[in-house]
Amino acid sequence: MFELPEDIQEIRDLARDFARNEILPGAAERDREHAFPADLVRQLGEMGFMGMFVPEEYGGAGLSTLAYTVALEEISYADASVGVVMSVNNSLVCWPIMAFGTEAQKRKYLVPLARGEKLGCYALTEPNAGSDAGAQRTRVTVADDGSYVLNGTKMWITNAPQADIAVTYANLDPAQRHRAVCAFIVERDYEGFEVGKVEDKLGIRSSGTAELIYTNLRVPKENLLHEERKGFKVAMATLDGGRIGIAAQALGIAQRAFDLAVAYAKERQQFGKPIAANQAIQWMLADMATRLEAARHLTWRAAWLKDQGRPVGKEASMAKLYASETAGFCTDRALQIHGGYGYSREYEVERLYRDARITRLYEGTSEIQRLVIAKHVLG
């Protein structure tokens, strides 16, 4: 794929205009104040960007994964915090309900989520279950009336402080690890639902990240997502798509850093000429540009394969790995090109440098991506 279809170009342009005119101007202030972008999330919902690949009959925009990926890059170009809120709601909440939910679950939950009337989060990670997602210690027991009772703590949950709905994983028998994991749709107003510690993070500071604490939380039996003991399948399938979203987020950060570096290199004068005239700067920019193009094609291809209904485990991991490391590379080089100014919070590259770092950690570390890729390569 070397050129986006015209309809997806239109989506890109819509996202770009909104991102640069509405999101970018307040990004630095939201970062300083840890201010959740509630109004922007509401507007994204009205535009159809909070449920982009959800069918129209369930309140979504009915668009492709590729359209979502392109739009998410543009949103993240302006503010990666807004991008991750959008990404989680689309990839990690709407998608598993759409793919594994019953008709009643889709009607009840997808419609408000896709419209941006409610916000979702993905409650998988625990204190002892990060990269080892099968080590779920949150317990679920079955009550006499067939409902489920959850007890445990989740951590590093993006959107948790603001979320109305949590796609949650718990284990019927921790000794059986992934073979006994179940997935549930949990509502914030269920008794026993508590938001714990809200994290003070290095980057993406205007998105909320917190613990979720479940204490004898009773979940109706109709809120089991998929089947008992099939939750790990739901989780892994969901993360494949989620990794494409993080790749898109990383691309947005990297592209913004590159654009700022080019502009600064042309403007900054040293020894009587723009620093862009120096070969050392030119080579940095050349490397950034090349990595960006490679990362974008990996990401677009993974999204396109998902739209074709083809397996994307390897391709999603490749895209996430390379795009996230490209974001780290490009923000580092952009800061270097800005010199001392880049280390100051007065310049945007400092925020981009901080925001980029998380993309190598969440939804699977770079090390986990390499393991996934290697397993596919080795068969």
- Over residues 41-63, the pLDDT tens digits come to 999 999 999 999 999 999 999 99
At residue 133 the predicted structure's pLDDT band, cuts being 50, 70 and 90, is: confident
Three-state SS annotation for the chain:
CCCCCHHHHHHHHHHHHHHHHHHHHHHHHHHHHCCCCHHHHHHHHHHCCCCCCCCHHHCCCCCCHHHHHHHHHHHHHHCHHHHHHHHHHHHHHHHHHHHHCCHHHHHHHHHHHHCCCCCEEEECCECCECCCCCCCCCEEEECCCCCEEEEEEEEEEECCCCCCEEEEEEECCHHHHHHHEEEEEEECCCCCEEEEEECCCCCCCCCCEEEEEEEEEEECHHHEECCCCCHHHHHHHHHHHHHHHHHHHHHHHHHHHHHHHHHHHHHCEECCEEHHHCHHHHHHHHHHHHHHHHHHHHHHHHHHHHHCCCCCHHHHHHHHHHHHHHHHHHHHHHHHHHHHHHHCCCCHHHHHHHHHHHHHCCCCCHHHHHHHHHHHHHC
Domains (range + CATH), the chain:
6-118 (1.10.540.10), 121-229 (2.40.110.10), 233-378 (1.20.140.10)
The residues that are catalytic are: 363
Mean confidence (pLDDT) of the chain: 97
Q: What is the pTM of this model?
A: 0.97
At residue 261 the predicted structure's pLDDT band, cuts being 50, 70 and 90, is: very high
Residue 317 has a pLDDT of 97
Residue 342 has a pLDDT of 97
Q: Does the pLDDT at position 304 exceed 90?
A: yes
Q: What is the pLDDT of residues 116-127, one digit of tens each?
A: 999 999 999 999
Residue 113 has a pLDDT of 98
The mean pLDDT value for 18-25 works out to: 98
